[in-house]
Structures are given as C-alpha cells and as structure tokens.
Amino acid sequence: MNTENSLGVAVLGTGRMGADHVRRIERLISGAHVAAVADVDEVRAKEVAGTVGPHCAAHTDPAAAMDAPGVGAVLIASPGAAHEEQLLAALERDLPVLCEKPLTPDPQGALRVMAAEEALGHRRIQVGFMRRFDREYRELKGLLASGAHGRPLMLHCRHRNTVSHPLFTTEMLINDSVVHEMDAARWLLEQELTAVTVLRPTPSAAAPEGLGDPQLIIFETSGGALVDVEIFVNCGFGYQVQAEAVCEHGTARIGDAHGLLANTAGRWGGEIADDFTGRFADAYDHQVREWVDATRAGRVTGPSAWDGYAAAAGCAAGVAAQRSGQRTEVEMIERPAFYSPVSYVRTN
C-alpha cells in the first residue's frame, strides 16, 4: 500500500446517503480515505467525522471541507438544490467529483455546470447513476452492445417500491424515480430521449391522497426506440427493478428472481428485496471502487455532467407531460464534443 497515493475525499452532506458513502470509502475502498466532511447540521457532521477518526475534520462550510489538507476529490451527497454551487466550487479547485443524482434539479443549472467544466478544459464530474455499475445492467448493456440480438426496438421497465415516503410527490415520481430509467435507457440504448408521455390509470387505493401512483411513462428516443416505464412507488410487496429489451432477433430481461428459492406451505418462490440497498449494494461499491481507480489514474469514466444534464432535461419534459397530459418533447442542446461518449463498460 503506497499511502502517499491514497485519495483523500471530502464528503459533502452527511445524511443517510453521505454517511453510507463515508462508511464505504473507509471500510471497503482501498486506495481512498475520507479527509473531511461537511454538513449544514454541525452535530451530524461531527458525528460522522467521528466514525472516521481524529484526522477527519467536520465542517459546516462545503468550501472549507474542499480546502482541508489532503483533499484530492469530492463526493457530493447533499440535497439536489445545493449541488450547483458545490459543483462549481469543486470545479474552481479542479477537484474530481462524484455527485449523487440529480446533477442539478433543472436543465439550466446543469448547463451552467457543464459550461464551467468545459471552460476548465478537462472532465472532472461523474454523476451517481449507479445502475451502470450493477452486474445485471452491465450484462444487458453488454448483450445490446454486442449486437447479437440486433437493434433494440423497445425497452419495458418496471420500477416498484414497497411504499413511498410521506413527503413523496407526483413530480418526484419523475425526478427521483423515473430519472434512473431515463439514464439507464440512454445508456443501454446509446440514444437520447426525444419525447415523454405520461399515462395515468386511476391511482391505487394504497397510494397516499394526491399521489398519482402508479403511472406509465413512455419515452421516445433519437433512434426511434420506445421505452415504457411502470413506476409504482406503493406496490406494497417489495422493491423491484426490471428491464426487458426487445430487439430485432431476441429479447433479454434483467431483475427477475435471483438467490434462494424455497418451497413451503403450498408455494414456491423467493424473497423480494425490501428496498434498493439490498438490490444495488454491490453496484454502489463498484461505483466508488471504479471512481477511485479512475480518479487516481487521472481519468473520468463514469456518467458525466452531460448524462446529468440529459436526465434533468428528461425530467423537465416528464413533469411537463405529467401536468399537461400531453406528449412532451425533450429539449436539449446539441451534445458538445467535449462530452463525446466513452466506453462505460468495465474492461477488466
């Protein structure tokens, strides 16, 4: 272990997600350590810093955390509204960033972040679309990229949560949940989204008052594919994320049963995960693992600011479609050459 090479990370935001990233970096990720944390809640920041050790400083000012000694990279896990300012501050310092989704809550903010990154002259930002690091998604991506099944024509997605948070809103169905399918569809199909339609059945009686749950979201893409997403955040039975690609010569599905299969009391089957932590635990680990590796090698290989922008633009269209009941086109700038595609599939 060459300790001089260990990557010092400033973690901004020490809520559930941030604290989990601190634990991951400290306990699972060799070659990296948490050098500083920041949170508006000072007590919380100190508590999380305490799990790391005396060498990890706790700040309330994100800029101070980024300027702490030994910081070589930033992980942003603060609320979305704070992202733009923190991203710009990180770019100012030329620090590599892993930013939890959304890049910014709106396409405009994302464009400003992209402009700053482009002005810097090299890419620094990775967005936390962790499905790109999930084993099954990568298998599906690999199959599609191989061309063995021909061109993808449709993508059927299911995104089901057991129960929604009390403050969950209809817009959050798009911005917090379907945003994952927006990125996954773009990444799997290697196409941009061009239009979104939102179809709404009569809500489930199990949905909280005012929440239009479930919904069926349709994406159209630049390559003429159709994507349909069932989003159902109060399905009651568990957490389930599935995707089925329909190609010219075959289909492929991920997210079905895996693991232990039991017979008992007249039924066979298995357990469904309760939430995303079980389903995507390995994906989160791989995401940080690869980001640390790439960062130490001076590269950015994961989802870029462009991907964050595209998700923000897709969500803006999705919420508009939800409100108007109409098919809504996704408005995006042309892809800057600076953000030309790189291979996201792990090569080892």
Contact status, residue 252 vs residue 141, Cβ threshold 8 Å:
no
Query: Among residues 71 and 114, whose Cβ is nearest to its own copies?
Result: 71
Task: Read off the DSSP letter of residue 167.
Answer: T
Q: Which two tokens stand for residue 218?
A: 């349709």
Query: Among residues 111 and 281, whose Cβ is nearest to its own copies?
Result: 281
Q: How far is CA 196 from the centre of its chain?
A: 19
Q: How far apart are CA 137 and CA 131, in angstroms?
A: 7
C-alpha dihedral (134, 135, 138, 144), degrees to nearest 10? -130
In whole angstroms, the minimum distance from the beta carbon of 98 to its own copies comes to: 17
Query: Among residues 171 and 256, whose Cβ is nearest to its own copies?
Result: 256
In whole angstroms, the minimum distance from the beta carbon of 332 to its own copies comes to: 20
In whole angstroms, the minimum distance from the beta carbon of 28 to its own copies comes to: 6
Query: Among residues 108 and 242, whose Cβ is nearest to its own copies?
Result: 242
Q: Which two tokens stand for residue 13?
A: 């935001």
Query: Among residues 75 and 305, whose Cβ is nearest to its own copies?
Result: 75
In whole angstroms, the minimum distance from the beta carbon of 243 to its own copies comes to: 10
Task: Read off the DSSP letter of residue 122.
Answer: S
Query: Among residues 4 and 334, whose Cβ is nearest to its own copies?
Result: 4
Q: How far apart are CA 84 and CA 105, in angstroms?
A: 9
In whole angstroms, the minimum distance from the beta carbon of 13 to its own copies comes to: 20
In whole angstroms, the minimum distance from the beta carbon of 209 to its own copies comes to: 15
Q: How far apart are CA 332 and CA 64, in angstroms?
A: 34
Q: How far apart are CA 311 and CA 234, in angstroms?
A: 23
Phi first, then psi: give them for residue 30, nearest 5 degrees. -75, 150
